[in-house]
Amino acid sequence: MALPLVLLTHPLPPEWISSLQGRVRLLVGPAEPSGFAPHLLEQIGEAEGVLCLLIDRIDQNLLDLAPRLRVVSNMAVGYDNVDTLACTHRGIPVGNTPGVLTDATADLAMALLLSAARRLPKAAMDAKDGFWRTWSPTGWLGSDLRGATLGIVGMGKIGKAVAQRAQAFGLKLIYSDHKQVFEASLPFNVEYRSFDELLSESDFVSLHCPLTIQTKGMIDATALKKMKRSAILINTARGPIILNAALIQALRESWIAGAALDVTDPEPLPPDHPLYDLPNCFIVPHIGSATHGTRQRMAEMACENLLAGLDGLKLPNYVNPDVYGS
């Protein structure tokens, strides 16, 4: 019997996807750009599985070209790139990779928080550019963490992992979420606040919510105006949660002190984007989960989901439970 055809939208190291060997016929897209390459689209009518990245859009138009498709496996925990309703309607389970990237992403959120608080990008650049002429008592001053308040928006796995780390730095923790978690059960002290309260009380605001219709554009001019003028905004969640125009104005007019972004809208952010010109903003290229171990485990989980789907089994991790009638 012919092996099922699987489209892997972009190349992954062979050792990360070794479980697919002998199980599927793999057609691999190019490293760049985002989306489905023409040679994949030519074959999509035959494809039974798709293993994709968060940069690939899986929508109704694509599903219409793929009558034999039986599983979509997204190598990411976030799945806003996939029209899950359309997949459910077609009976196609959608897999994701929760859990394995929690620590790496929380580490990066803390790295951004620390870098922004202590102005590391500016200090490093100044040292390199010859502006380190003496030990200056007033040079490169940043903000203290101990005693400051960190507002965590979205107390899911990653939000909790950030809270755990932040507690060790002496930060006071507050959070907002669409559902209130049972605080007494958490291994750190954290208090619930409404979103508006969190914005006005926090010295640092870190975003850890998924991108949904409710969270898209949630950090708009109104939200930014509620923040302290000394506050720093950190985003390791999804770019479109923040409205760019509002953030640019807020940073230019000092409504807030700074922003550190791992995710942007769009991605990649073009090099001539005005956000890059702001001295109080720094941007890294969506590297929250970018450690060797984490990315390999994400790929392995994506393969496990894919193979289960092709075998007609429940995926170990899926995001559209309705597809199984539960």
d(CA 308, CA 154): 30
| 77 near ligand DGY (CB under 6 A) | yes
Structure tokens at 163: 């809270």
Of 1-9, 76-84, 170-178, 248-256, which part binds ligand DGY (CB under 6 A)? 76-84
181, 257, 168, 125 alpha-carbon torsion, rounded to 10°? 140
Of 74-82, 139-147, 159-167, 174-182, which part binds ligand DGY (CB under 6 A)? 74-82
* 286: annotated active-site residue: yes
* 15: annotated active-site residue: no
Among the listed residues 194, 190, 195, the one whose alpha carbon sits nearest the alpha carbon of residue 224:
195
Kindly tell me which residue out of 24, 76, 110, 199 binds ligand DGY, with binding defined by CB under 6 A.
Answer: 76
CB 318 within 8 A of CB 70: no
| 53 near ligand DGY (CB under 6 A) | no
**Given 119, 165, 193, 286, the catalytic residue:** 286
**Given 46, 197, 267, 304, the catalytic residue:** 267
Structure tokens at 179: 């559902």
Residue 38, SS3? helix
Kindly tell me which residue out of 20, 54, 247, 301 binds ligand DGY, with binding defined by CB under 6 A.
Answer: 54
What phi, psi does 40 have (nearest 5°)?
A: -75, -40
Site pattern 84..123 for ligand DGY (x: CB under 6 A): -----------------x----------------------
d(CA 324, CA 326): 6
SS3 percent helix, strand, coil of the chain, rounded to 5, is: 35, 15, 50
Kindly tell me which residue out of 4, 159, 258, 288 binds ligand DGY, with binding defined by CB under 6 A.
Answer: 288
Residues forming the site for ligand DGY (CB under 6 A): 54, 76-78, 101, 288-289
Residues taking part in catalysis: 238, 267, 286
